[in-house]
Amino acid sequence: MRSEVRTIAWRGGVVEILDQRKLPHAVRYLRLKTARQVAKAIRDMAIRGAPAIGVAAAMGLALTAYHSRARSREKLLEELRESYMVLRASRPTAVNLFWALDRVMRVAESSRAAEEARRRVVEEALKIMEEDIEANKRMGEHGARLIEDGDGILTHCNAGALATAGYGTALGVIRAAHAQGKRIRVYACETRPRLQGAKLTVWELMQDGIPVKLITDNMAAFLMQRGEVSKVIVGADRIIAKTGHVINKIGTLSHAIAAKYYGISFLVAAPTSTIDFESRVEEVIIEERDPREVLYIDGRRIAPEGVEVWNPAFDITPPDLVSYIITEKGVFKPEELRELGSVG
């Protein structure tokens, strides 16, 4: 991002997280010193986006290791396992969270002494952060090949630098295409109920000078009907390798159905850490969030007292609605993901 605003950083025993709840009106950072504080930041969506919360979770374990006074390996592992469970419970759907926690714990458990484990846990968390940025850039290069000069691109929620350690997934593809000189225009859905598109995606694209127009979620199909959209590109919070189902922000399914009807390519950009090679789609827990997110906008109630609310955070798009899945390892059809797991 030209603004050079960072999403997350390690500052010698302190994790600095950009508080995305304050955007676009203010750029403020939280300084977190414990895994419980990181878990709260994830749960409260001060930091959000599947890759970003994976990095944050790894950083939470790094904080536990860094500040631990444990002298024995066993005591340190006990503290790390406690933090692991706290962080694991922060949000249930995005698989990157569990992937990052498990990866860091494997490093800790393979260490022979407390000091070695302490050092390696911090190093692994930082490695996960750097790998995420590099994966996003490679993803952008692969995905930009699917973007043509003159494309009108619809995106939903925020899958940009703010949703990752840097650069972005879906917006990373858009950034790469723009950097290649392709004349593109972006339509950003506002993304009710938390308005990540309006508050975050539009802000990011404006920072980079990429042409963007904000629309409400229910305008997307009409925009497609008018021929203004030639590609739809979104991120993902979990992709089921066995079947190719894509779990992403609520509203994604509606756009996929409309895109299929109008013959528009529907693209998903996500790192391989977002691909779940173990679960079946029926096993995925779809997070249901506080009804107040629907009942209020910026603190002001918009619905009558006593109304019932349903507020799932994600929906599930079947593979027959997905044209391609873009990863740092290349571009794949949904049915090809299982082979990707077999080759690592």
Active site residues: 237
3-state SS, one letter per residue, for 46-115: CCCCHHHHHHHHHHHHHHHHHHCCCCCHHHHHHHHHHHHHHHHCCCCCCHHHHHHHHHHHHHHHCCCCHH
Radius of gyration of the chain (CA): 20
Q: What is the DSSP letter of 168?
A: B
- Quick one: which of 203, 172, 114 has its CA closest to 327? 172
Q: Indicate if the alpha-carbon torsion angle 52, 53, 55, 59 is positive or negative.
A: positive
**Which residues, 6+ apart, have CB-to-CB distance to 329 below 8 Å?**
138, 272, 340
CA distance 237 to 313: 11
CA 280 from centre of chain: 20
Asked if residues 30 and 46 have their Cβ atoms less than 8 Å apart, the reply is yes
* Interstrand relation of 15-18 and 8-10 (parallel, antiparallel or unpaired): antiparallel
Q: At what angle do helices 35-43 and 73-88 cross, to 10 degrees?
A: 10
CA distance 30 to 11: 12
